[in-house]
Structure 1
Amino acid sequence: MKFYPLTFTPILKDRIWGGTKLKTYLNKPIVSETTGESWEISTVPGDISVVNNGVLKGKSINEIIDLYPEEILGKSVIDRFGKQFPLLFKFIDAKEDLSIQLHPNDTLAKERHDSFGKTEMWYVMQADESARLVVGFKKDSTQKEYLAHLENKNLVALLNESPVKKGDVFFLETGTIHAIGAGVVVAEIQQTSDITYRLYDWDRVDANGQGRELHTELALDAINYKATYSKVVYKEEINQSTSVVNCPYFVTNIIALQDRFIWKRTNQAFTVFMCTNGQFEMVVNGEILRYRMGDTILIPACIENLTVKGKATLLEISI
């Protein structure tokens, strides 16, 4: 088997807060006016990604991992997670505010849902004027204060509202209350989990006049009530891979590609590239592969080096 960079058919999610930027901005094949998410690489049960290029086209990611575990995942990933793919990659378009929510840690998620927790990060790809994100408490709070503000529909008064622009990065540890604000497109990298506790949904109702389920009781012992500052400060270096987020669940670097970059693997794990701007080519085993903004590419662990050429911004994610 001659291994190569893999791409997958997007899994598109209709959301009450979604819009059309995934099509107009990222060229995704959406069919509704309220598409909120494109799941780029997923092994969440019921939403398993399928390869859409090369000789493995039509096979699910779980199938190829089962056939070629060490070649796809890498030894270090197998040692930690077995044949489980530990990350989930998305693009999100918030035409309206998402609910104020949080995700439980590994311990609670395992105990309650037999799932990983959901540590995640956002890279802002596009932001309308005055767009913002809601992330964490302004100052240390308490369960009593939180519940009083929740009951009075004034929870946001306790929370940080951060204006955002293209290129901003936020790292969200489990337990951090958060919401993506209207007018923002983000690339999201997270643990493989779909466990969300919804706290407040802006009193929004659907076409039938029904509000979405809230998870008030479940959330109480999952919340981090301490003050949180989640914005990440980083510096791009032209044609180099520079660190943005380094946590136990994933490592994300950024490549500000202006010409040519020789990429070499530094661990025994798969790598994912998310193209957040521009266009580029990969030269792998003498073959030229072309990509553009909105593409997400899985580099199997057995590919040790390749050449990247073009003008683009790439998120480089590994374990």
Structure 2
Amino acid sequence: MANIFKFKPLLKQTIWGGERIVPFKRLECNMDQVGESWEISGVKGQETVVDGGPYDGLTTNELVATLRDRLLGRDNYLRYGDEFPLLIKFIDAAGDLSVQVHPDDATAMRHGRKRGKTEMWYVMDSEPSATLMVGLKRSITPDEYKALVANGTICDAISRYNVKEGDCFYIPSGRIHSIGAGCFLTEIQQTSDVTYRIYDFKRKDKDGNFRELHTAEAADAIDYQVQESYRTEYDRVKNEPAELVDCPYFRTALYDLDEPMTLDYSELDSFVILIGVCGEGTLTCDDGTSATLSAGHTLLLPATTGIVGVSGKVKFLETYIA
């Protein structure tokens, strides 16, 4: 089986959304305040749909149920069944996102959810003023956390970073975080939509209501350990993979190519997702199947994929589960 799958994106209008995603993806639509483009999603009720080819029109999870281990890989199919295990997003923040935290799997299940959420961010071409917050910068107790939320000073306890294209942050479950105004980034995460909102800058929604906070749930989910830095450091190399994240839920590398390269997936028991962040290239599989990978495009390669040649000047993220 040789297929390169494309999906129709799910565009999400948000109160903090910007105007970058539609032109970045070269879409013909007039939507404004698009905060997120869900590129590949198996979240129940919010699944992406295959765009073109012999499986055109199937939802992501219907594709998994049809192809099973041929799509996910044997171990991944045993682990996740007919639910696609990763959610891929582009995020454009014209305003600050809420301060939030995601539970780990055990905490989520205690609260009646299927699983928690671990994620990562890769920052693309953002505004010069762009910042984000990740991790506690000083030690606090759960009671101190609740007091800081109550008096509106919780942000004073979180590390803030100025960011630019190429920056990377790993957000394991339990790590408090917020995407700031001006950030444009790719997010890779577990298939889960569980978020505990900690602080929302006293904003109101379109109906004039404050959005719900989850202070107690978040207190139970936060990892209160303090680290010196939460930024992911990596070697910024060309024409070879730069490893960004290697965790139980996904493994992600960055490729910045200006010469042809061969990717060998023949021994990998996993699907592979390729996310274009800059430039344009051509993928050619060993059976002759080909596709264009360019900025704003996301492609899914099944676990049966062998050798893939990449040509052109293109920067992309590669992620899979192994």
CA distance in 2, matches of 1:30, 1:21: 13
- How far does the alpha carbon of each residue in 1:118-175 deviate from its partner, in whole angstroms, 9 at most, with x for none? 0000000122112100111112211122122211111111110110000000000111
- How far does the alpha carbon of each residue in 1:26-53 deviate from its partner, in whole angstroms, 9 at most, with x for none? 3245533211100011110111111002
Matches for 1:113-124 after TM superposition, within 5 Å: 113-124=112-123
2:256 corresponds in structure 1 to 256
Contact 2:2–2:289 (CA<8 Å) still a contact in 1? Answer: no
Contact 2:85–2:190 (CA<8 Å) still a contact in 1? Answer: yes
Between 1:170-179 and 1:278-287, the stretch displaced more is 278-287
Contact 1:21–1:93 (CA<8 Å) still a contact in 2? Answer: yes
Matches for 1:1-319 after TM superposition, within 5 Å: 2-228=1-227, 229-265=229-265, 266-284=267-285, 285-319=287-321
CA distance in 2, matches of 1:208, 1:62: 34
CA distance in 2, matches of 1:42, 1:303: 21
Instruction: Provide closer, same or farther for how the CA distance between residues 26 and 230 of structure 1 changes in structure 2, counting only shifts above 3 A.
Output: farther
TM-score, L = length of structure 1:
0.96
CA distance in 2, matches of 1:76, 1:196: 28
Contact 1:255–1:313 (CA<8 Å) still a contact in 2? Answer: yes
CA distance in 1, matches of 2:219, 2:209: 24
CA distance in 1, matches of 2:116, 2:85: 11
Contact 2:48–2:59 (CA<8 Å) still a contact in 1? Answer: yes
Contact 1:236–1:255 (CA<8 Å) still a contact in 2? Answer: no
CA distance in 2, matches of 1:152, 1:145: 11
TM-score, L = length of structure 2:
0.95
Contact 1:133–1:161 (CA<8 Å) still a contact in 2? Answer: yes
Query: Given residue 263 of structure 1, which amino acid in structure 2 is its aligned partner?
Result: L
| Unmatched runs of 5 consecutive residues or more in structure 2 | none
- How far does the alpha carbon of each residue in 1:247-275 deviate from its partner, in whole angstroms, 9 at most, with x for none? 01100011111111101114211000001
Contact 2:145–2:219 (CA<8 Å) still a contact in 1? Answer: no
Q: Is the partner of 2:221 in helix, strand or coil? A: coil
Q: How many residues are matched? A: 318
Contact 2:124–2:184 (CA<8 Å) still a contact in 1? Answer: yes
CA distance in 2, matches of 1:237, 1:76: 31
Q: Is the partner of 1:32 in helix, strand or coil? A: coil
Contact 1:271–1:300 (CA<8 Å) still a contact in 2? Answer: yes
Q: CA RMSD in A?
A: 1.4
Instruction: Provide closer, same or farther for how the CA distance between residues 129 and 239 of structure 1 changes in structure 2, counting only shifts above 3 A.
Output: same
Contact 2:123–2:167 (CA<8 Å) still a contact in 1? Answer: yes
Cα drift, residue 287 of structure 1: 3.6
Q: Is the partner of 2:8 in helix, strand or coil? A: coil
Between 1:76-85 and 1:5-14, the stretch displaced more is 76-85
Query: Given residue 151 of structure 1, which amino acid in structure 2 is its aligned partner?
Result: A
| Unmatched runs of 5 consecutive residues or more in structure 1 | none
State percent identity of aligned pairs. Answer: 39
Instruction: Provide closer, same or farther for how the CA distance between residues 113 and 93 of structure 1 changes in structure 2, counting only shifts above 3 A.
Output: farther
